[in-house]
Amino acid sequence: MSEFSTPLMRQYNGIKERYPNALLLFRLGDFYELFFEDAIVASKELQITLTSRNKEKGIAVPMCGVPYHAAEGYISKLIRRGYRVAICDQVEDPRKAKKLVKREVTQVVTPGTATGSQVLEPRDHNYLAAVAESNSAIGLAFADLSTGDFRVTEITGDGRQERLMEELVRMRPRELLLAPAASVHFSPESDPPITETRLEEWVFGGEYGERLLKDHFGVVSLAGYGLEGHPLAAGAAGAIFHYVRETQRGSLFHFDTLRFYQENDSLVLDSTTLRNLELLEPLTGGPRHATLLAALDQCVTSLGARKLKSWMLRPSTDAAEIDARLAAVEELSSNTIAREEVRRVLNGIQDLERILGRVSLESANARDLLALKASLEHLPLVRTYLASFNAGRYQELHERMDELKDVHGLIESSIHPEPPALLTEGNLIQPGYHTELDSLREISRNSKQLIAGIERRERERTGINSLKVRFNSVFGYYIEVTRANLHLAPSDYQRKQTLVNAERFSTPELKELEAKILDAEERSQTLERELFVEIRRAVGTEARRIRQTAQALAELDVLACFAYLAAERNYCRPEFSDNGEMVIFQGRHPVIEHIVTREEAGHFIPNDLYLNPTSDILIVVTGPNMGGKSTYLRQTALIALMMQMGSFVPAERAKLPIFDRIFTRIGASDNLARGRSTFMVEMTETATILNTATPRSLVLLDEIGRGTATFDGLAIAWAVVEHLLVHTRARTLFATHYHELTELEDLLPGIRNYHVSVKESGSNIIFLRKVEPGSADKSYGIEVARLAGLPAHVVERAREVLKRHEQSEHTVSGKLAERKQEPKDVQLMIFTPLNSEVVQAIEKVDLDNLKPLEALNLLAELKKQIQS
C-alpha cells in the first residue's frame, strides 16, 4: 500500500499491522470505519456502500462504515460469516485530546470466541477447536467459551487424519486453531463456515500447554484430568488457552475443569451415519424438522437442549450408566404430575452456563446477574422434588445441585432491582449496600432539593412565576426567564444563552451547587461500576459450583424430556440383552411417526425385528421401491441409539445389546443430491465398514452396489454380504433390490430373508409397509412406476420388455458365472443356473419333430453335460 498522508491514516496503519487477520473496525466519531481490503470485504458482506477517502490527494482509500450504536448487529453478521473482527476504540475523551485521539483495539471477536447473544445459538454449543500434530498422534481440544465446556482427546493409530476429520464433523467447531504446517483442511463451503486460524508452531507445544493448564487450574500435575502422558492433548488445550487469553478479557473462571475423552468411550457414529440417520440435519430435500434431534428435543431449557445433543452425538456404552438413566426416565414417565411440575419449574431457569460465561469474561451486566439470581430462586424447589424421587440418579443430581444461597444473597443485597443495560449510567447498586455510595447519592439528592428550593425562592424574589431552574449537558444548571419577563431579571444574574423566547442565566450559588452535584454523581457512578465489577468477580469465583449445578439441571431436564416422550409417544423401556440378541416388537421410526402423527397424515405401521449372533446375524430385506425398506433399517438404528442415550424407545417391547458402533451405507440414488462421484464414495464408505465393524457393531447397508452396472453391483453386494457374515459377524440389515441376494439364505447360515409386503389388486399395488419373513416374489418396479404417473403406454411397453428380459436373463447370469471361480467354502449358485452349451442345445431342438427316444437320449446327454 502507498504511504499514508495523514497522521490518522498512519495511526490506522500501525494498528492494522498488528491485526492482519481481522477486519479492523476503526472508531471515527460516531462511526466504525473500515479501510482498504477490509472495506471491500465488509461492504459486500454487510451490503453497505463503499466510498473512498483522500480522493483529492490522488490516493483513493476504499472505505465503509457502520454507526457505532448499531455496530453489534453488523459485527455479529461478520462473525456468523466466519470473519474475525478487531474493534478499535477511542480510548481518551476526544474533547480532552490535544491532537490525535488515542485509539486501541479493545476487543477481538472471532467465530470461535464469540459470546454475544446475536451470534450464539441458544440450544447449541459454539466450539473453538485446536489441533496439535506429531508423527504418531494428534491432539485435539474443544472449548466453548460461552459455556465453559472444555474437552480434549488424543488420536493415535491408523487412519488418524480421517478420524480427526470425523471428530471435527461431529463437533462442528466454528473456528479451528492450527499450526502453520498443519494438514487439516476444511472445504470453504462448509455450513456454518469454519474459520481456520493459524498460530505459530510453539503455541501448540506440549510443555507450554502443560504450563498454561497447570497455572490455570492451580495444580502441580495434570494426572487428575487424565492428561498425564498425553502431550499432544495438552498442546492442543494449551493453544486454546493461549488464543483465548490473547483475544479475551476476563478470568476464564468458568473453565473450571477439562475432560479427557477417547473415541471408544461412547457409541461411535461416523459422519456418514450422522447424515444418513438424519440425526442433526435432514438429508437433502427433507423438511428441516425431520431430524432425530428435532423430534426428541422437548427440553425446556437451553442447558438441557445442549446436553441432549451431546448425548445424541456420544451415546453411552456403559450399561450401568444407561440403566441409571432409564430408571430415572421410568419414574417420571409414570408420574405425570411430578414430571410436569419439574418441567414447569425448570422453565423458569435461564441459561446459567452462558450467564456464567459472560460473568467470567467480564461482559455480564447487572441484568445478567439478576437473571442468575431469579434462576437460583427455583433451585430449592427443584431439589425438594429430587429428594422425593426414588431413582438413584435423582439422588445423585440432588447431591450435585447446589442451591448457591450465598451467590443469591450477594446479588439480592447488592444489585438494584431495575438496572440499566449499561454499566456507565449508575443505578446498578441497591441503596444500603455500600455506605460511601449511599452518602454520595444523598449529596446529589439533597442538592437537587436545594435546587428546587432555589427555584421557589427566585420566583418569589423576582415575581416571575414562570421562572425555571433547568439542566442540560452543555450549560449545566441555569435559570430560564421568558422574554416577556426579562425586565424583571435581577442584575446579579449572569447571562449565558439567548433563545428566541427566553434568556438563560447562571448565578455563583448555582454554579457551586452544580459542581457539587456533578462531582457526586460522577463519583457515585464510578463507584457503582467498581462495586459491580467486584460483585461480578465474586460471583465468578463460584464458577465451579454454578457450573456443576447447571450441569445437574441440564441432566434433569433431559431425563424429564425423555420421560415426557415416553409418556406422550408411548415409548417403552428397553431391556439389555447380554447374549447379543436384538428383539424389537412393534418398533416404529421416531421421526416419521412423530411427523405423521402431528400432521395427522395417517398411521405409522409398526414392525418387528429379530437378530442374534448365531442364526440371525444378517437380514436381507427385499421389496418394491417405496415399500418401507430404508425406514425399517433406519428405525432399527435409531432405536439402538436412543437406548444408548438413555431414552425409552418407540416400540412395544425391545431387548437390545449395547453396540460399539453404528455404521450406515445408504445407496447412491438415495443420496444423489450430494453430487460427488457416487460410486467411489459408496465403495469408500463400504470399505470403512468392512475394515472397522466388529461383532458388537450394528451395520445398515441400504441398496449398496446401485452406483454401478447391475452385475458389478450385484457381485459386489454379494461379496460384501459374505464378508460381513463370515468375517465381521456384526448384526446387519441389508436392504436391496437385487433379488438374487435372497438366495444367500440357503447358502450361508445366519442370513434371513425378509420383505416389505404389498397387496396387488388388479394391476395396482398397495404398500402395506409390513416387514415379513421370506423374500419378495417380484420387484414391482413397473407397478410403482405406474403409481408415480408414468403414461400408460410406457408402462405397457415396460411390461413387454421385462417379459423378454426375464426370458433371456439366464444367459446373462451365465456370463457372470464364467468370470471367476469363487472360493470353495461359498457356492455361487445364482451365477450358474444353466450351462450355456446346454441352453444352446435346447434352443436347437425342433420339438415338433422330436421322437420320444431322441428326447430321452437328449436328456441323458444334457444331464451328462451339467454333471461334468
Ligand X SMILES: Nc1ncnc2c1ncn2[C@@H]1O[C@H](COP(=O)(O)OP(=O)(O)O)[C@@H](O)[C@H]1O
For ligand X, the binding residues (CB under 6 A) are 592, 604-605, 623, 625-631, 756, 769
Distance in Å, CB of 704 to Mg ion, minimum: 12
Residues binding Mg ion: number (CB under 5 A): 1
Cβ neighbourhood burial of 403 (10 Å; 0-12, 13-18, 19+): middle
Q: Minimal distance in Å, beta carbon 837 to ligand X?
A: 39
For ligand X, the closer CB: 621 or 683:
621
Question: Do 22 and 85 touch, CB atoms closer than 8 A?
Answer: yes
Task: Write the interaction track for Mg ion spanning residues 588-627; mark x where CB under 5 A is met and - where it is not.
Answer: ----------------------------------------
Q: Which amino acid is at 548?
A: Q
Could you tell me which residues are beta bridge partners of residue 88? Answer: 26, 105
Nearer to ligand X, 255 or 604 (CB): 604
Q: How far is the CB of 637 from ligand X (least distance, A)?
A: 13
DSSP code of 144? E
What secondary structure letter does DSSP report for 487?
G
Least distance from ligand X to the Cβ atom of residue 801, Å = 22
604 binds, among Mg ion, ligand X, none (CB under 5 to 8 A by kind): ligand X
Closest to Mg ion by CB, 524 vs 630, is: 630
CB of 71 to Mg ion, least distance (A): 50
Q: What is the secondary structure of 255-310 as a DSSP string?
A: ----EE--GGGB-EE-HHHHHHTTSSSPPTTS-TT-SHHHHH---SSHHHHHHHHH
Distances from the Cα of 237 to the Cαs of 101, 125, 258, 625, 651, in angstroms? 39, 17, 9, 50, 43
Of residues 290 and 489, the one with the C-beta less far from ligand X: 290
Amino acid at the residue 167: E
Measured in degrees and rounded to the nearest 5, phi and psi for residue 419 equal: -85, 155
Nearest CB to ligand X, comparing residues 209 and 627: 627
The pairing of beta strand 31-35 with beta strand 23-28: antiparallel
3-state DSSP assignment of residue 375:
helix
In the complex with ligand X, which residue's Cβ is closer, 415 or 666? 666
Cβ distance to ligand X smaller for residue 283 or 327: 283
- Residue 593 CB, shortest distance to ligand X, in Å, is 8
- Minimum Å gap between C-beta 382 and ligand X is 39
110 binds Mg ion (CB under 5 A): no
CB of 352 to ligand X, least distance (A): 39
Q: What are 48's three cell numbers?
A: 453497505
Q: Which of 317, 630, 644, 775 touches Mg ion (CB under 5 A)? A: 630
Query: Which entry of ligand X, Mg ion, none binds 626, CB below 5 to 8 A by partner kind?
Result: ligand X
CB of 56 within 8 A of CB of 38? Answer: no
The CA–CA distances, whole Å, from 515 to 442, 473, 511, 522 equal 15, 13, 6, 10
CA angle 638, 639, 640 (to 5 degrees): 90
How many residues are given for the chain?
868
Instruction: Compute the least distance from the CB of residue 183 to ligand X, in Å.
Output: 38
Choose the one of ligand X, Mg ion, none that binds residue 408, judging by a C-beta under 5 to 8 angstroms depending on kind: none
Give whichever of 605 and 704 is closer to ligand X, judged by the CB atom: 605
Cα four-point dihedral sign 574, 575, 576, 580? negative
Return the amino acid letter for 178.
L
- Sheet with 698-702: list strands edge to edge: 268-269, 661-666, 698-702, 731-735, 616-622, 750-761, 764-773
- Nearest of 572, 581, 594 to residue 651 by alpha carbon: 572
Nearer to Mg ion, 551 or 630 (CB): 630
In the beta sheet, which residues pair with residue 195? 175
Q: Least distance (Å) from ligand X to the CB of residue 682? A: 16
Choose between 560 and 733: whose C-beta lies nearer to Mg ion: 733
Binds 631, which of Mg ion, ligand X, none (CB < 5 to 8 A, cut-off by type)? ligand X
Q: How far is the CB of 769 from ligand X (least distance, A)?
A: 4
Contact partner at residue 605 from Mg ion, ligand X, none, CB < 5 to 8 Å by partner kind? ligand X
> Distance between the two ends of the chain, CA-based, in angstroms?
86
Residue with Cβ nearer Mg ion (582 or 666): 666
Q: Which of Mg ion, ligand X, none sits in contact with 355, Cβ below 5 to 8 A by type?
A: none
Residue 779 C-alpha cell reads as 420387484
Shortest gap between Cβ of 623 and Mg ion (angstroms)? 10
Collapse the DSSP code of 115 into the 3-class scheme (helix H, G, I; strand E, B; otherwise coil) and give the result: coil
Whichever of 65 and 628 has its CB closer to ligand X, that residue is 628
By beta-carbon proximity to Mg ion, the closer residue of 112 and 707 is: 707
Strand 51-53 and strand 653-656: the pairing is unpaired
Selection from 742, 697, 707, 737 nearest residue 721 by Cα: 742
Of residues 313 and 592, the one with the C-beta less far from ligand X: 592
Q: How far is the CB of 592 from ligand X (least distance, A)?
A: 5
Q: Which is nearer to Mg ion, 115 or 630 (CB)?
A: 630
Choose among Mg ion, ligand X, none what residue 628 binds, the Cβ cut-off being 5 to 8 Å by kind: ligand X
Least distance to Mg ion, CB of residue 702, Å: 6
Select from ligand X, Mg ion, none the partner in contact with residue 592, using the beta carbon and a kind-dependent cut-off of 5 to 8 Å: ligand X
Give the position of cell 440383552. 577
> Which residue lies nearer to Mg ion by CB, 360 or 630?
630
Closest approach of ligand X to the CB of residue 663, in Å: 18
CA distance 86 to 88: 6
560 binds, among Mg ion, ligand X, none (CB under 5 to 8 A by kind): none
**533: Cβ contacts below 8 Å, ≥ 6 apart:** 362
Q: With helix as H, strand as E and coil as C, how does 737-765 read?
A: CCHHHHHHHHHCCEEEEEEEEEEEECCEE
- The site partner of 317 among Mg ion, ligand X, none (C-beta below 5 to 8 Å per kind) is none
Crossing angle (nearest 10°) for helices 302-313 and 543-568: 80
Q: Which is nearer to ligand X, 132 or 277 (CB)?
A: 277
Environment class of 605 (CB within 10 Å of its CB; exposed 0-12, middle 13-18, buried 19+): buried
Q: Which residue is nearest to Mg ion (CB)?
A: 630
- From the list ligand X, Mg ion, none, partner contacted by residue 383 (C-beta under 5 to 8 A by kind): none
- Nearest-approach distance from CB 753 to Mg ion, in angstroms: 17
- The answer to whether 402 and 375 are in contact (CB under 8 A) is no
Three-state SS for 701?
strand
Task: Give the shortest CB-282-to-ligand X separation in angstroms.
Answer: 12
Task: Measure the CA–CA gap between 295 and 759, rounded to whole angstroms.
Answer: 31
Torsion angle in degrees (nearest 10) through CA of 817, 822, 825, 826: -40
User: Which residues make beta-bridge pairs with 150?
Assistant: 143
Q: Which residues bind Mg ion (CB under 5 A)?
A: 630
